[in-house]
Chains A and B, each alone.
Chain A
Amino acid sequence: MMTNPTGRLTQGQFSFLPDLTDAEIALQIEYGLKKGYAWSIEYTDDPHPRNTYWEMFGNPMFDLNDAAGVMLELKSCRGTFPNHYIRLVAFDSTRGVETIVMSFIVNRPPTESGFGLVRQEVNGRSMRYTIRGYEADRAEGERYKK
């Protein structure tokens, strides 16, 4: 398995570690809240590395005081999209920063097929390469289903 050595999607923080438990996720959220970040939840079934913008699950959560609120929303997202990738994203609204400062995956489909390398011959013997998710052939919402 050259293209998918770990058998896992490795995007964002902690992605080379074993999946975080809920308690560990809550601690990370707590850390972010202490820093004043606004958490939001995003999901997708097209985890191509160039797919920067995943779908938002609800609005970003401003003015929270406790991780339980985010966990509540995460739970309902997992219920709705059990076979999707779900990530938590922390937004720092500090003037001059105003960007995502934390992002990590909190839900994965049961099997992660990864990406295939697509070769294209152009202009004689030149090659162009791209990657394409194995699941990308199926329609949105149908991917990663058993």
Chain B
Amino acid sequence: MYNIPGSVSAPSPTSVGEGRGEGRSAGEGSVTSPASAGEVARSAGEGSGVKAARTVAEVMAQSQAGSVLDELDRELVGLAPVKARIRDIAALLVIDRLRMNQGLQAQTPSLHMSFTGNPGTGKTTVALRMAQILHRLGYIRKGHLIAVTRDDLVGQYVGHTAPKTREVLKKAMGGVLFIDEAYYLYRPDNERDYGQEAIEILMQVMENNRDDLVVILAGYGDRMETFFQSNPGMRSRIAHHLEFPDFAETELLRISEMMLTQQNYRFGPGARDVFEQYIHQRIRQPQFANARSVRNALDRARLRQASRLFASPDKELTVEDLTTIEPADIRASRVFGSPSPQSPSPQPSPTGVGEGAEPSPPPSPAEAGEGVYKE
């Protein structure tokens, strides 16, 4: 998926920086028409200044960053502060490119980031987009994303951690290193924990190889806060701290519609309203994981829809039938379990396609609050 951009057009390198420029322009070339690819290659070669971009629009057109930003706006619901920050970063990189074309010195900004937010607020999704955007803007050379957790960085015995961390870092070079649940790296309760070693190597590379990779740390807000407090060096090396807000109910509803559309489903008459009620109730229950909960709820609705259709084997099924989620499919959820009077606690179909995997039959309210809503 993440192809290395097309062949190097004119191998006459004098500096790493120029080689980088060529890689970038060749990548763009493969997207645009061949004619303009040559033009881009010329203008990207620094110093030549023959056809160097002089306006923001030209840079945006060359890099196609605009389309990624628009896509971001279209496909990611909500997240206004995050989008604003990404636009700022994109603007800075575009202006830096213009400055470079004018012969002004442009120091590469530090773009390491930390994403904090509750579960399911889109941290990973945005990180993936980030890799694309930064690649289009020519900040990183390859635009791939390596997602790791503690296990991939920290070793199990003395001397195991450093090579492991370095290997991951080497793989991430030219792209984005996404460290999920970064706070697990640091275990304050065990002072001989090897996580600290990984953090030190990480910080060193973040500082020395700023041009080569972008590190994104992600995790839940409060725990990231303690992580940064115990590693002040890490905090200062990260320029961008992005807070991912929780989704509002209307946003969640829009997300659910987009998810369904992507999978070629749609809400049947009335189903949208029922799902709105579902979100309204689910959001107040424990362990609500924003978009992830919505996705799981939809997955379960699909299961119920499937078994509903399955139950009438002789019926000829139209496209309509196959793609429609009926209100009943959603209302069968245990979220509606006790309070909703409309459907008296629908027996979650004998096949066992119910809410979760729990076999516990009609759950007592206490139970319902606990384990069942894990997903």
Count B-side interface residues using an 8 Å CB cutoff: 30
Contact across chains for A69 and B14 when beta carbons are under 8 A apart: no
User: A9–B305 Cα gap in the complex (Å)?
Assistant: 73
Provide the main secondary structure of the chain A interface: helix
Contact across chains for A66 and B16 when beta carbons are under 8 A apart: no
Contact across chains for B13 and A64 when beta carbons are under 8 A apart: no
Q: Which of B37-45, B103-111, B168-176, B351-359 contacts A (4 or more CB under 8 A)?
A: B168-176
User: A27–B26 Cα gap in the complex (Å)?
Assistant: 14
User: A67–B20 Cα gap in the complex (Å)?
Assistant: 11
Task: Name A34's closest neighbour in chain B (CB-CB).
Answer: B4
A residues near B144, Cβ cutoff 8 Å? 65
Is A58 an interface residue when CB atoms closer than 8 A count as contact? yes
Chain A 25-55: CB-based contact to B (< 8 A → 1; otherwise 0)? 0110010011000000000000000000000
Task: Name B3's closest neighbour in chain A (CB-CB).
Answer: A34
Is A63 an interface residue when CB atoms closer than 8 A count as contact? yes
User: A68–B173 Cα gap in the complex (Å)?
Assistant: 6
Contact across chains for B170 and A27 when beta carbons are under 8 A apart: no
Is A72 an interface residue when CB atoms closer than 8 A count as contact? yes
Count A-side interface residues using an 8 Å CB cutoff: 21
A residues near B339, Cβ cutoff 8 Å? none
User: A66–B19 Cα gap in the complex (Å)?
Assistant: 12
Is B15 an interface residue when CB atoms closer than 8 A count as contact? yes
Q: Which of A23, A24, A58, A64 touches B173 (beta carbons < 8 Å)?
A: A64
Is B11 an interface residue when CB atoms closer than 8 A count as contact? yes
Residues of chain B in range 173-211 having any CB-CB distance to chain A below 8 Å: 173-175, 205, 209, 211
22 A-B pairs (CB sep. < 8 Å) = A22-B16, A23-B13, A23-B14, A23-B15, A23-B16, A26-B16, A27-B13, A34-B4, A34-B7, A59-B163, A61-B167, A64-B171, A65-B4, A65-B144, A65-B173, A65-B174, A66-B142, A66-B175, A67-B174, A68-B141, A69-B173, A72-B173
